[in-house]
Amino acid sequence: MTIRRMAATKTGNTYDVIVVGAGVFGVWTAYHLQRSGRRVLLMDAYGPGNNRSSSGDESRIIRMGYGADEIYTRSAVRSFEFWQELLSRTGEPLFCRTGVLWLAHEDDPYAGQTIETLHRAGVACERLALSEIAQRYPQFARDKISWAFLELESGVMLARRAVQAVAREAIRAGAEYSHDEVQAPAGNGKLDHILTLNERRVSAENFVFACGPWLPKLFPELVGQRIRPTRQEVFYFGTPPGADRFTPPAMPTWIDFKDEAYGLPDIDGRGIKCAIDRHGEPFDPDQGNRVTSPKGLLAARDYLARRIPALRDAPLLEARVCQYENTSNGDFLIDRHPEFENVWLAGGGSGHGFKHGPTVGEYVMARIDGHNEGIEPRFSLTSKGSEPRRAVY
């Protein structure tokens, strides 16, 4: 089932909530709101899961580990329950339980904090000694690695298709979808309507702008220094023919935190996905060049050759340029617009937001409902600085 342009194109419609942006934060917000009985319109300029969005590409890691940041571990756990419920309802095979292997260096406090937090949160995980890594996962070279731990139930979500599945479920529940670009709202107080680029007027009681890297464009004075889109490159490398050791369950997803790298096993025959998790150059989600750089490819190849020597000369199958939309420290931005009583902003996924889509949507709905309990100060506008100091990974 494809996402269709719905009856929302009619003029004069008034909705309970309009959600602008059909990335993972937007579709889950629309999904929760529609299932709560509201009349919802979901809008996007390019479509759910499109290649320009931060929720695009084929896959995203679903992991629970966040160092000592228990707020994100518990959010990831709750979100995973929502994801599983959705996939059970749709019957779509959009999640692959690969396990997530964290490779820990000798001096690696983040890894130690992560496994302690996972134990407190009741997340199934297993600590592995160096000899156990060698026996269970001989694909990995153990250079600089002292130990590891495995998140047993975690894995990989097929991202683009998952976002589209959530959008379809929201529409099945009664939400409407409109393929439109919107203009920035003007004025203050209570917003009555928004305009599309072709001047079509759409009214609602509440508005949610969950448009990720486009938030700085729509709200340059408010958000322009608080969210910075950066260019991020990912690469897919081919595996030898008949080599089951590079597919799940023989090979897990892995995170090499100290080396700022991560990788995914060969899923659906797309090859090994590998990326360097450093913030790239500033990037425009509309006009940015999405051709990968020789420098980025060399960095990924060098890392892969060192960590998985058997893939030293692996052919490049595919390369993608996406973007992170980073807040100053990596915390999400989910707050009311200070000049509009009925406008909410939801963004700042900061390269780790995909897995949290369900709980972000739930959080936004609670704020629209007027619930004050559970407000997280770390998500507020005022907590976001103008200088990058990454603290959440």
pLDDT per position as a tens digit, 343-381 = 999 999 999 999 999 999 999 999 999 998 889 999 999
DSSP string over 226-250: T-EEEEEEEEEE---TT-GGGSTTT
Residue with tokens 């928004």: 194
Pair (335, 294) in one structural domain: no
Residues of the chain below pLDDT 70? 1-13
Say if residue 234 is in the same domain as residue 363.
no
Q: Are residues 248 and 379 in the same domain?
A: no
Residue 147 φ then ψ, to 5°:
-165, 180
Give tens-digit pLDDT for 105-157.
988 899 999 999 999 999 999 999 999 999 999 999 999 999 999 999 999 99
Q: Among 296, 322, 348, identify where a domain stops.
A: 322
Same domain, 206 and 146: no
CATH number for the domain including 307?
3.30.9.10
Q: Within this chain, do residues 261 and 314 fall inside the same structural domain, yes or no?
A: yes
Classify 62 as helix, strand or coil. Answer: strand
Q: Is the Cβ–Cβ distance between 101 and 147 less than 8 Å?
A: no
CATH number, domain at 29?
3.50.50.60
- The answer to whether residue 70 is domain-embedded is no
* Total structural domains within the chain: 2
Let me know whether 306 and 183 are in one domain.
no
- Domain of residue 171 covers 7-55+160-227+329-383
One domain, residues 136 and 248:
yes
Q: How far apart are CA 105 and CA 287, in angstroms?
A: 39
- Residues 221 and 249 occupy one common structural domain: no
Task: Read off the pTM.
Answer: 0.95
Q: How far is CA 363 from the centre of its chain?
A: 16
- Do 145 and 249 reside in the same domain of the chain? yes
